[in-house]
Amino acid sequence: LLACIFISLYYHFEDSTYTHCQVSNYLPSISSAISREPERYIWRSCIGLHSAPRYLAAVVYFNFYRQRFAARLPELLLSGLALVCSLAENTGLVLLSYVASTETYKVHKNGFITFIASSLLHMLITCRLWYVIRRNYVSQEEVTSYLWKLRLFLFNVSCFAAAAYFFRRHNKFCETGVYTLFAAFEYLVVFSNMAFHMTAFWDFGSTEVMVATPPEGKRY
Q: Quick one: average pLDDT of 187-203?
A: 94
User: So what's the pLDDT on residue 142?
Assistant: 85
User: So what's the pLDDT on residue 186?
Assistant: 95
Q: Give the pLDDT band (50/70/90) at residue 141.
A: confident
Domain count, the chain: 1
Q: Give the pLDDT band (50/70/90) at residue 220.
A: very low
Q: What range does the domain containing 191 cover?
A: 2-218
Q: Is 188 exposed, middle or buried (0-12, 13-18, 19+ CB in 10 A)?
A: middle
Does the pLDDT value for residue 191 go beyond 50?
A: yes
Cis bond before residue 38 (omega within 30° of 0): yes
Q: Quick one: average pLDDT of 144-162?
A: 96
Q: Where are the alpha helices (DSSP H) in the chain?
A: 2-11, 13-16, 30-33, 39-68, 73-98, 105-136, 140-173, 178-198, 200-204
Q: Give the pLDDT band (50/70/90) at residue 28.
A: very high
User: So what's the pLDDT on residue 184?
Assistant: 96
Does the pLDDT value for residue 218 go beyond 80?
A: no
User: So what's the pLDDT on residue 169?
Assistant: 95
Q: What b/e string do you get for 103-141 counting C-beta neighbours within 10 Å, with b at 16 or more?
A: eeeeebeebbebbbebbbbbbebbbebbebbbeeeeeee
> pLDDT tens digits, residue range 61-99?
999 999 988 888 889 999 999 999 999 999 999 999 888
Distance CA 88, CA 104 (A): 20
- Among 111, 86, 88, smallest CA distance to 99 is for 111
Q: Supply the DSSP string of 50-61, one letter for each residue.
A: HHHHHHHHHHHH
> pLDDT tens digits, residue range 170-185?
999 999 999 999 999 9
Does the pLDDT value for residue 217 go beyond 90?
A: no
